[in-house]
Amino acid sequence: MGYLDPQTEAPRRPTPAQLSKPDAGVLYLRSYLLMRAVIGCIGLALPLLLVLGDLALEGGGIRGSLSAYFYTGMRDVFVGALCVTGLFLMTYKVFEHNLDNLLSMVAGVAALGVALFCTGRPKGSTVALTPLQERLGETPVAVVHYVSAAVFIVSLGVISLYFGIREGKRTELTGRLSPAFWRRFHWACAAGIGVAVVFIAVTELTGWFDHYSLIVGETLAILSFGASWLMKGLELRVLLGSKPNAEPLRSQEAATAG
């Protein structure tokens, strides 16, 4: 496969017998799924942590964007979460030659760009420029930040879209819900990211909902990403080694029909 070829077939999961006596391959798979779930948790928790943490530390109102929390006491949380996410995205499929790996690499680099190239300072702020802003200029750094954010969000939306395609093609159940449900779930997450992009574009162009346009759109996109990745990694049958619902999907459907 080449880097522009999408991976559309879902990899098979271990059988109940393999899960009951896990070998190195099963243990590595569990670690892989757990890391996916952790990245999803970071995505779901980040907006809440930034807003509530800032309110607790500094009071005042909600900022105009998630990026604006770089200039608050939550800077380390913002930068740290994005760096962890970026490094994970860059490495977790690094040895695969497919579109998933390319999108993941692009999203990872973009996440680091968002973290390391900060947005412009709030209006009227007297906060000192960062060394990078002093060297390159505040506006060029902000441009890199916004371009990185756009690339990050769009890449994650496409990744979630392919999550849905693969999950819908599974021939065995990985939990209590059907592959068709998980296809719709991940597509809904991809749609949420798409709606967030359109919302930001429309509100920024029209000036509607001006002060909170970015934070609403960014929060929707990050929550959609987090939900998709959390549930993609939270395969409890594999993580916990449980046995229910492990038989092939075709067999269950035949039993139901009979």
Residue range 116-137, pLDDT digits in tens: 999 999 888 888 999 999 999 9
- Radius of gyration, alpha carbons of the chain: 21
Kindly list the domain boundaries of the chain, sorted by start residue. 24-122+130-247
Angle at 100 between CA 95 and CA 103, to 5 degrees: 105
Helical axes 75-91 vs 99-116, angle rounded to 10°? 160
User: What's the Cα-to-Cα distance from 32 to each of 58, 105, 112, 239, rounded to whole Å?
Assistant: 38, 17, 21, 10
Tokens, residue 16: 């109940």
pLDDT of 255 strictly over 80: no
Percent of the chain whose predicted confidence (pLDDT) is above 90: 70
Tokens, residue 123: 């209006």
DSSP helix/strand/coil, 172:
strand
pLDDT of 245 strictly over 60: no
Q: pLDDT confidence of 16, banded at 50, 70, 90?
A: confident
Average pLDDT over the chain reads: 90
- CA 50 to mean position of chain CA atoms: 17
Tokens, residue 175: 């939990």
The tens digit of pLDDT for each residue in 151-195 reads 999 999 999 999 999 999 988 776 778 999 999 999 999 999 999
Q: Which position has the token pair 């075709």?
A: 250
In this prediction, residue 215 carries a pLDDT of: 96
